[in-house]
Structure 1
Amino acid sequence: MSTSTTIAPTAARRGRAPGGRRARAPLARLGQHALVLWVAVTLNFALPRLAPGDPALIMYTGEGDPTPEQLAELGQIYGLNDPVLVQYGRFWQNLLRGDLGLSTGHNRPVLDVLLERLPWSVALVGLGLIGAILVGSLLGAFAAWRRGAGRHGEDRTLLVGVLALDSMPGFWIGMLLIAVLSAQLGWLPSYASAQMPEGGAAWLLESARRMLMPLATMILSSIGTYFLLARASMTTVLNEPFLRLARAKGLPERTVALGHALRTALLPIATNAAMAAGALVSGAVVVETVFSYPGLGTVIADAVAVRDYPLLQGAFLLATLGVICANILADLLYPLLDPRVRHSREVIAA
């Protein structure tokens, strides 16, 4: 009896279809992401209520000490007088309807305030992530390649330079760019908000011009991780037998470097990029504040200053959802980038 005929009845006796594991793996990952989202939402609900003192006092943004009548009114508005389980159920019900509450600082729905600033932050974080990956990975791969060719001086120079840059806080890099490019040379404005009517080519070009320094700050403060990852990965790949085989076939050195070594070395960065999205979001808060950039980071900083807790809760949920979506995207892309992962899953499922 052949192996295939032996395995099939065994799988059937256990009640498992041949592709069962392959079908369960994505569902298990989605279940993990759903669990993370539930924990984040629950913490978002619980933290203001677990803080010392009256939760209504946390929501109070007026001047001076609130009167008992004002606290009672706030408790009535936010439903803080109801049992905790009732509040939790209502919190989820409102969340599923897209109701994140009323911003006490803007006196507008939280979702409206966040959606108004969201495109600016998505553009900054997205382009910053892409730029940091491209610049850091190419520099790291180049440093490892030159090291493998015996050019240790070039590798050390790049390593020291990138590590020195990575040790600087993001706000300090931003202040240096403002001092040089804006204050001394006058090439770029020191603030990002384009004080012009929105719409039109002129506004779009001016907005892109004002975005250059915040974007450069995001990229320069983030390339260290990708440089070190690409450098370490490329160093490992250079010792792989398939590169010697490629050279034995007579392929040009540029084809070996770009078509074989670099492509394989960049695979670990695909998963790290999703994990780094959270760090970029937190870094965007500082960068946007430095440049008065009209994104979610400025909204969060302003909300902290005026104790706008509903807006802070909404921003936290939105950032958490963005990081989870980035991780789901990485799970979907990684098997496409690395055929070995796809092949191993097919073998396991068979």
Structure 2
Amino acid sequence: MKRPDRSWLSRLGQYAVVLWVAVTLNFALPRLAPGDPALVMFTGEGDPSPEVLAELGALYGLDDPILVQYGRFWTDLLHGDLGLSTVHNRPVADVLMERLPWSLTLVGLGLIGAIIVGSLLGAWSAWRREAGRPGKDKGTLIGVLAVDSMPGFWVAMLLITVFSAQLGWLPSYASAELPDETFAWLVESGRRLIMPLLTMIITSIGTYYLLARASMTTVLGEPFIRLARAKGLPERRVATGHALRTALLPIATNASMAAGALVSGAVVVETVFSYPGLGKVIADAVAARDYPMLQGAFLLATIGVVLANILADLFYPLLDPRVRHTRQVVPA
């Protein structure tokens, strides 16, 4: 008799520990800053008076013992209360929910685009190399590495210079006021998304290109590829139906881990283009020392990375049936 594998219980426990550590670090962030946390959060002009600091301390509960603050922090979090932004003077959760769809669109499409472009280029490069055309492989490798070495802000400024300043095709600022009519809003939002999305893809394809190239090179030397060719299958079917699917396994694993890196890269991209996403919120919060906003944004990013890893665990068996396993129950 078979029983379900209990490894998922262990994984969920690990994810729970990761979230607990992230939440604890978010709680400790303003309290680890030098000086009085209330002074760090102060956004007024000049030095605050003791009365103002006491009022801020009472507002954020900073005068209570640390364990009391920690317990209240968790209680508020479980009720969806992430605090009050010192810059926007609004609940942090409201601001984040407004900006989240913009960042999900940018980071999600950027990740998908980088995976598709990088993987196809890497697989094609390895196929050319295996077919006895190393020159094209080396040329593609040098070109991709050259592009991958460009910093994100430089790529963004280059795109603005060409497509906005010189050609005038695309707007350089994504946070300008949008039209009210639905279709016009979608068209204008799409136009303002093009350059930030291109920047995300261009600066991310190198990782997937190298992974796909190395994985494809290894797979093409496997016995099942030689067997497929011995059966007389067309080369295109061997490449796409056998080699490429197997070569995508490490890319699927890396995609979940790359989600966090893309979120950090989005901070630079969104700042350059004034894109109204979480990255821009984080940059503005750092400049203004809006710690409640930073805590909420970092927590949201952590949850996103954990969810990406869970999705990778769920979909990985669809790509590689070998990871599906069950434990045998020995009868008494």
Q: Same fold (TM over 0.5)?
A: yes
1:163 corresponds to: 145
Taking the TM superposition and a 5 Å limit, the aligned residue runs for 1:118-157 are 118-157=100-139
1:189 corresponds to: 171
For the Cα contact (< 8 Å) 2:3–2:327, is it kept in 1?
no
Gaps of 5+ in 1: 1-7, 9-17
For the Cα contact (< 8 Å) 1:193–1:207, is it kept in 2?
no
Return the match for 1:39 from 18, 21, 24: 21
Q: Secondary structure at the match of 1:250?
A: coil
What amino acid is the match of 2:16?
A: A
Q: Distance in 1 between matches of 2:31 and 2:180?
A: 40
Q: Distance in 2 between matches of 1:324 and 1:307?
A: 26
CA shift, 1:189, in A, is 1.4
1:206 corresponds to: 188
Deviations 1:88-115 (A, max 9, x none): 0000000000000000100000000000
For the Cα contact (< 8 Å) 2:178–2:189, is it kept in 1?
no
Pair 1:19-2:30 in alignment = no
Q: Secondary structure at the match of 2:175?
A: coil
Pair 1:275-2:257 in alignment = yes
2:91 corresponds to: 109
Deviations 1:67-125 (A, max 9, x none): 10011001100111111110000000000000000001000000000000100000000
CA change 1:120–1:198 in 2 (3 A) is farther
Q: Identity over aligned residues, as a percent?
A: 78
Deviations 1:179-216 (A, max 9, x none): 11111122211122352234510110111011001000
CA change 1:192–1:239 in 2 (3 A) is same
Pair 1:233-2:220 in alignment = no
CA shift, 1:243, in A, is 0.7
CA change 1:234–1:331 in 2 (3 A) is same
Q: Secondary structure at the match of 1:120?
A: helix
For the Cα contact (< 8 Å) 1:143–1:155, is it kept in 2?
yes
Q: Distance in 2 between matches of 1:38 and 1:149?
A: 51
CA shift, 1:19, in A, is 2.0
State the TM-score, normalized to the length of structure 2: 0.97
2:326 corresponds to: 346
1:3 corresponds to: none
Q: Distance in 1 between matches of 2:204 and 2:328?
A: 37
Deviations 1:262-299 (A, max 9, x none): 01101111110000000000000100111111111111
1:100 corresponds to: 82
For the Cα contact (< 8 Å) 1:139–1:227, is it kept in 2?
yes
Q: Secondary structure at the match of 2:172?
A: coil
For the Cα contact (< 8 Å) 2:228–2:238, is it kept in 1?
yes
CA change 1:61–1:123 in 2 (3 A) is same
Q: Distance in 2 between matches of 1:284 and 1:156?
A: 30
2:46 corresponds to: 64
State the TM-score, normalized to the length of structure 1: 0.92
CA shift, 1:346, in A, is 2.7
Pair 1:82-2:54 in alignment = no
Q: Distance in 1 between matches of 2:181 and 2:201?
A: 27
2:203 corresponds to: 221
Greater relative contact order (Cα < 8 A, sep 6+)? 2
Q: Distance in 2 between matches of 1:76 and 1:84?
A: 14
Q: Distance in 1 between matches of 2:117 and 2:249?
A: 15
CA shift, 1:349, in A, is 7.4
Return the match for 1:296 from 278, 300, 315: 278
Q: Secondary structure at the match of 1:297?
A: helix
Q: Distance in 2 between matches of 1:318 and 1:263?
A: 32
Gaps of 5+ in 2: none
CA shift, 1:238, in A, is 0.4
CA change 1:269–1:163 in 2 (3 A) is same
Deviations 1:137-158 (A, max 9, x none): 0000000000000110110011
CA change 1:208–1:235 in 2 (3 A) is same
Q: Distance in 2 between matches of 1:105 and 1:201?
A: 32
Q: Distance in 1 between matches of 2:45 and 2:33?
A: 21
Q: Distance in 1 between matches of 2:264 and 2:215?
A: 27
What amino acid is the match of 1:271?
A: T
Q: Distance in 1 between matches of 2:329 and 2:288?
A: 55
Q: Distance in 1 between matches of 2:276 and 2:328?
A: 49
